[in-house]
A and B are shown apart, each in its own frame.
Chain A
Amino acid sequence: DAGITQSPRHKVTETGTPVTLRCHQTENHRYMYWYRQDPGHGLRLIHYSYGVKDTDKGEVSDGYSVSRSKTEDFLLTLESATSSQTSVYFCAISETTGEQFFGPGTRLTVL
C-alpha cells in the first residue's frame, strides 16, 4: 500500500460521539486525501491537503474536519458521528504526477 497506514482499521461507535481517523505515510508525498466509499458509489472526496496546514474541502465535506500538522500525518475528524457517516474511509497520497496511492481503509460503523 505504498507506505500508507490507516488507524484504526475498524471502529464501531455511537451516534453523537467524536471520532478521529489517522492516515500516516512514509513516502513524503505532498498531497493527501480522505475519501469515503459507500455501496453502489465510487470514492467521494471528503477533504484534501496540499501541504502542512493547507487543506481544502471536497465533494462531501459536511460533518467532517481535517488537520495536517506534519507531512506524514493527515487526520479526519467526525465531531459528532451520525449513522449516515457509516462507511469505509480511504486515505490516499500523491506527488505531482497525478496518480494517487491508497491506504487499506478504515471501516467505520456508527450505531
Chain B
Amino acid sequence: GESVGLHLPTLSVQEGDNSIINCAYSNSASDYFIWYKQESGKGPQFIIDIRSNMDKRQGQRVTVLLNKTVKHLSLQIAATQPGDSAVYFCAENQGSARQLTFGSGTQLTVLP
C-alpha cells in the first residue's frame, strides 16, 4: 500500500550546523503534510505543516520544502541546538477525517 517513509533512520549534526531531514511519500492524492518532533517520554509535538499548493513554508528556525514532482518532503532546522535532539516524524493527510499516516521517524542527535 502507499505509505510515508524516511530516507535515514539516524542523523548526527554538530551544534550550530543546519540539519536536513528527508521524507518520501507515495500517495499523490495527499494534500497536507506535517512534521512532528518527539522527545523521549513525551507525545509528538507539532513543528510545522504545509499544504500541497505550496512549495515552501518557514517557521522559527525551521523550513519545510515540498517537491510534488518527486514526492519528497524535507525539514530544515537552522543553527541546530542541543534541544533539537529528538525523533522527527513526517506525516501525510489521507482521507476526509483528517487521518494522518506517519513515517517511522528519524533520530536527530546534536553533537557538542
Contact = CB atoms under 8 A, between A and B. Distances in A.
Contact of A101 (B42, B46, B99): B46
A98 B32 contact: yes
Count class of interface residues, chain B: 20 to 34
Interface string A71-111: 00000000000000000001000101011111111000000
Interface in A17-49: 31, 33, 40-45, 48
A98 B34 contact: yes
Contacts of B34: 98-100
A103 B93 CA distance: 19
Contacts of B98: 31, 94, 96, 98, 100
Contacts of B104: 40-42
B18 interface: no
A14 to B, nearest CB: 25
Interface string B91-108: 101000111111111000
B7 to A, nearest CB: 14
Contacts, number: 52
Interface in B61-105: 89, 91, 93, 97-105
B43 interface: yes
Contacts of A41: 104
Contacts of A33: 99
14 contacts: A31-B97, A31-B98, A42-B105, A43-B44, A43-B89, A45-B100, A56-B97, A90-B43, A98-B32, A98-B49, A99-B49, A100-B34, A102-B44, A104-B42
Interface of A: 1, 31, 33, 40-45, 48, 50, 56, 58, 90, 94, 96, 98-105
Interface of B: 4, 32, 34, 36, 41-46, 49, 89, 91, 93, 97-105
